[in-house]
Amino acid sequence: MAETENEVEVLVQRVVKDINNAFKRNPNIDEIGLIPCPEVRYNRSPIVLVENKLGVESWCVKYLLPYVHNKLLLYRQRKQWLDREALVDITCTLLLLNPDFTTAWNVRKELLQCGALSPERDLYLGKLALTKFPKSPETWIHRRWILQQVLRECSSPGPDRKDQGDGDRHDAAEKTRLSEHLHRVLYEEMKVCADAAGRYPSNYNAWSHRIWVLQNMAPGNLQVLHDELSSMRQWVSMHVSDHSGFHYRQFLLKALVRELSQSLSSSSSPQHYHPQPSSNPSHSPHKANPLHQANGEATAAAPCPSPHSPEDLASMPALPQLFHQEVELCTDLIKSFPGHETLWCHRRHVFYLWHHWRRDHHYGQGFGSESPHLNHTDAGLSSHPHTACPGGVGLDRVQRRNGQAQEGQDAMEVDGVGVPDPRDTKRLKRGPPGPCPPALPSEHSFIASVLDSCRSPEQGRFALAYRKWLDSVIGQ
């Protein structure tokens, strides 16, 4: 059945209006989808709104998309004028069907710049598009641009003071409001990323966006880093193939290492906030200003202020404990889910971070565990039956953050006690809190125990690859 141009035009205009009315009627739409419905039905709207789900019947899409697509391009080439409202409606329809259409997002950027759109609206539109297209690169890219506008807004000088007298109070209140706003935006981004990560396995774009958000909206923020590490534990345990999810934990650990190490080095003047070395892409509009935060004021420049107050540091787990927990998580998962390359990659990465931190901070200086006679060929030495980490003096010293743990550390290494044998977990939990961070002998011991007990050829293969990696990359 051939449709006249006019019929198509009428249909499309109606559909575009129906879509946009649906949003007006229900501002809580949280998912979009295509409804398989190949039969053309001119008399009924192909737009279906059920609860908070917006559906488009598939039959209309082949008319709808080319029409709105070409209309937008005619506008872009200045061959046909479209007013702001029409542009908003058309780009919305287009992007829900084809969110990789870069130019359509750019039109919306311009609309935002002239005040015809709010950032919230495009964050919402993007969120919807991601329910159907969780990888869409252009959607994530547009999102980052929007967030940069939000950041810029939040750090620009406050509104004109009407009353000079109230100026200070007004400023402080304004700063708090902005900080809370950014905090909400930040957590909303975490949620959007988590949803998209759940909709597509190992979603590189979702996770790299998540990292970008932390780097740009909460640089060096210990609380956020730590919260994220905690909250992601369960997620990764249920997605053991998700390499991007585990990489995110590696990113968090690395950032925590960086922040906590700096605090260590400035521990003589706890009130000082030292600027971090730039691991953040410096295209971020903000560079954290080194400001004293002793008076508790948020800095104007740092979006989510990250004061390293003594209280914060005291409430943070020590690095050895963080590493111990991460290795323990990794061990549990490796044993529960044999043959997952992702888990072994994660182990490599975590060990690497720990190994280098120890080396850089002279933690356990001069310990001989990495001398040749304690490599994996000396299985006898390193496969002592593991007991729970000794409590008492040795552990206390390991827990201290200022590098005085040397003696305790040496004792642990030579005894071949590192990561506790998982069979002793119960005993360990009853004992004093004892971080037993990884060490080469214990890692080789772990590999040996996996090889002994594994029945999966892949698991064996990955364990051997890990051993080879330890020997080549670490044990030099």
Contacting range for another protein; rule: CB under 8 A; set: 22-30, 102-110, 184-192, 400-408: 102-110
CB atoms within 10 A of CB 159: 9
In the complex, the smallest distance separating the C-beta of residue 30 from another protein, rounded to whole angstroms, is 24
403 is a site residue for another protein (CB under 8 A): no
Annotate 359-377 with b (16+ C-beta within 10 A) or e (fewer).
Answer: eebebbeebebbeeebbbe
Residue 412 near residue 397, CB atoms below 8 Å: no
Axis crossing angle, helix 222-237 with helix 243-265, rounded to the nearest 10: 150
Pick the stretch among 65-73, 155-163, 165-173, 376-384 that binds another protein (CB under 8 A).
65-73
Smallest separation, CB 211 to another protein (Å): 6
**Which positions from 279 through 298 interact with another protein, judged by CB under 8 A?**
279-283
Query: Is the Cβ of residue 240 or residue 374 nearer to another protein in the bound state?
Result: 240
Q: Judged by CB under 8 A, does residue 215 bind another protein? A: yes
Minimum CB separation from another protein for residue 375, in Å?
20
Reported as half-sphere exposure (CB side, CA atoms, 13 A), residue 252 has a value of 24
Helix, strand, coil % over all residues of the chain, rounded to 5:
65, 5, 35
Q: For another protein, which residue of 4, 28, 77, 269 counts as binding (CB under 8 A)?
A: 77
- Paired residues of 53 in beta bridges: 31, 50
Q: Which of 84, 368, 458, 464 binds another protein (CB under 8 A)?
A: 458
Contact 436, 412 (CB under 8 A): yes
Q: What angle do CA 126, 302, 160 make, to 5 degrees?
A: 90
Q: Tell me: does residue 44 bind another protein (CB under 8 A).
A: no
Q: Which of 243, 286, 386, 444 binds another protein (CB under 8 A)?
A: 243
The mark string for 338-367 relative to another protein (x by CB under 8 A, - otherwise) is: xxxxx--x--xx--xx--------------
Closer residue to another protein, CB minimum distance, 235 or 337: 337
Q: Judged by CB, which is closer to another protein: 113, or 118?
A: 113
Residue from 18, 30, 31, 100 in contact with another protein (CB under 8 A): 100
- Give the whole-angstrom CA distance, residue 212 versus residue 104: 23
65 near another protein, rule: CB under 8 A: yes
The residue among 371 and 472 lying less far from another protein, judged by its C-beta, is 472
Nearer to another protein, 238 or 314 (CB): 238
**Least gap, CB of 234 to another protein (angstroms):** 19
456 binds another protein (CB under 8 A): yes
Q: What gap in Å lies between CA 374 and CA 379, rounded to an integer?
A: 8
Beta-carbon contacts of 4 under 8 Å, excluding residues fewer than 6 positions away, are none
Q: Residues touching another protein: how many (CB under 8 A)?
A: 58
Tokens of 30: 């949280």
277 binds another protein (CB under 8 A): no
Q: What are phi and psi of 418, to 5 degrees?
A: -135, -105
Contact call for residue 266 and another protein (CB under 8 A): no
CB 41 within 8 A of CB 59: yes
Nearest distance in Å: CB 75, another protein: 9
Rule CB under 8 A: is residue 237 a binding residue for another protein? no
Segment near another protein (CB under 8 A); pick from 118-126, 305-313, 376-384, 453-461: 453-461
207 near another protein (CB under 8 A) = yes
Secondary structure element (H or E) that encloses residue 254, with its range = helix 243-265
In the 3-class helix/strand/coil scheme, how is 49-71 assigned residue by residue? EECCEEEEEHHHHHHHHHHHHHH
The four Cα atoms 21, 26, 29, 33 give a dihedral, to 10 degrees, of -40
Q: Which stretch binds another protein (CB under 8 A): 12-20, 119-127, 246-254, 261-269?
A: 246-254
- Which 78-97 positions form the footprint of another protein (CB under 8 A)? none
- Considering the complex, state which of residue 227 and residue 341 has its C-beta at the smaller distance from another protein: 341
User: In the complex with another protein, which residue's Cβ is closer, 135 or 170?
Assistant: 135
| C-alpha pair distances (Å), 21 with each of 28, 38, 92, 239, 401 | 13, 24, 12, 38, 59
Residues with Cβ < 8 Å from 43, sequence gap 6 or more? none
Stretch 127-186 residues interacting with another protein (CB under 8 A): 138, 141, 144-145, 148
Strand order in the sheet with 47-50: 31-35, 53-57, 47-50
Output phi, psi for 159, to 5 deg.
-65, 160
What is the contact surface with another protein in residues (CB under 8 A)? 61-62, 65-66, 69, 73-74, 76-77, 98, 100-103, 106, 109, 138, 141, 144-145, 148, 202, 204, 207-208, 211-212, 215, 241-244, 247, 251, 254, 279-283, 337-342, 345, 348-349, 352-353, 455-459, 465, 473
